[in-house]
Amino acid sequence: MVARVIARGTGKTLSELLAAVHADPFDLAARAVYADALQDAGDPRGEFIALQLAGKATQREKTLLKDHRKRWLGPLAKLVSNSSTRFENGFLRTVAITSQQPLAPNQLAHPELATIEVLDVTGMRDTSHVATQATELLTRYAKLQELVIVARGLAHVAERIREHALTRLAVQLPSADLLPAALQRRTFPQLRALRVWNQDPGPDALVRSASAVPLDTFECELDGGAVRDAIAIGKLANIVATLTVTCTWGKVRVTRKGDKLAIRPDMQPDARPPQLAALITALGRDRVTIVKR
């Protein structure tokens, strides 16, 4: 079998090299060694890992993933979303679980999950399953930094992960009041980045969410007019260092220095809509500086 072949120049089998990647998911050098060994063995995943490590997206990379994704994921392929699951540096980075049933112990312990940084459980509708499974994955995998979850499941998970160093949280909002209540439990002591989406609950509700725990960055959606959006941005910019806002017409990043706001539109200059100009006027032109993309 290919896995038992001794990789040239390493004295180790492919299985041993892969185990080294899973044992230290932060070590990109181990991934490069494994990629070289796979390419020597004629395994297409070696080329895929090398392409992603190079950091240049290519059509070849997309083709390799499309052709071999199921084989690389094994039994995980049936449990995760095709559209929301992401590879980075040749291995899983984002996993979106869509299974409605609890994951079996061997699935929770699957070695390919060792490299995940983002866990999305919004596809799991049973709150008890979410609490159990998310907690198990959070405590098992050292590289996991972000949890994506629906608001109604957050309190159940929060009770179980008091000691986990979770730094980023993304919450789908079916109700504006669920999030602040869960966050105020102070069960996310390491949290520094919060993203909420699915609705615009209004400036006051967003402020309550952004101020429930100390944050460096906050991301939300706004769908009001320029004046209402400006009120929300003005209030939120006083709470967090970096604010990312998705409006109905586009996305902007806002940072505050003193009383001044720097706005970086996430769009080309020739594609900026009139709503952006209206927002800047509402915020105060003497207060706002536009930062080039």
According to the model, what pLDDT value does residue 177 have? Answer: 60
> For residue 174, what is the domain's CATH number?
3.80.10
Residue 59 lies in a domain: no
Indicate the number of domains in the chain: 1
176 in Cβ contact with 201 (< 8 Å)? yes
Residue 76 lies in a domain: yes
Measured CA to CA, the distance from residue 156 to residue 216 in angstroms comes to 24
Going from the C-alpha of 244 to that of each of 7, 36, 105, 138, 170, the distances in angstroms are 46, 39, 38, 26, 13
- Assess whether pLDDT exceeds 80 at residue 50: yes
List Cβ neighbours of 256 (8 Å cut-off, separation of 6 or more): 237, 238, 241, 262
Residue 182 lies in a domain: yes
pLDDT tens for 137-196 read 888 887 888 989 887 777 777 766 666 668 898 988 765 565 666 676 566 778 899 998
Residue 171 lies in a domain: yes
**pTM (predicted TM-score):** 0.83
Residue 25 lies in a domain: no
Domain extent for 277: 71-290
Residue 6 lies in a domain: no
pLDDT tens for 80-93 read 988 889 999 999 99
199 torsion bin: left (phi>0), alpha (psi -120 to 50), beta (else): beta
Residue 84 lies in a domain: yes
According to the model, what pLDDT value does residue 289 have? Answer: 93
- Assess whether pLDDT exceeds 60 at residue 1: no
Count of other CB atoms within 10 angstroms of residue 162: 11
Return mean pLDDT, the chain: 86
- DSSP class of residue 83 equals T
Residue 257 lies in a domain: yes
Count of other CB atoms within 10 angstroms of residue 228: 15
Instruction: Decide: helix, strand or coil at residue 69.
Output: helix
